[in-house]
Amino acid sequence: MKRYSILKRVIDGFITLKDAAELLGLSYRQILRIKKRFIQDGIEGLLRKSS
């Protein structure tokens, strides 16, 4: 899963949130929200949520 590997690199300090946003084609704010969900919920937090 591309999101997982990129967010893992962010959390491990290898890349910045800005770089992750560019790699995934998302905004900085979206990456912040996804990172927060990933930290709280693990890999399940990366799955797309339908409202």
**What is the DSSP code (8-state) at residue 1?**
-
Contacts of 39 (CB under 8 A, 6+ apart): 11, 45
Domain membership flag for residue 6: yes
Host domain of residue 40: 2-45
Domain membership flag for residue 32: yes
Angle between helix axes 17-24 and 2-11 (nearest 10 degrees) is: 170
Domain membership flag for residue 50: no
Start-to-end CA distance of the chain, whole Å, equals 22
- The total of structural domains in the chain comes to 1
Domain membership flag for residue 34: yes
Domain membership flag for residue 51: no
pTM over 0.85: no
pLDDT in tens, 2-51: 899 999 999 999 999 999 999 999 999 999 999 999 999 988 888 766 54
Which residue from 50, 51, 27 is spatially nearest to 35, judged by alpha carbons? Answer: 27
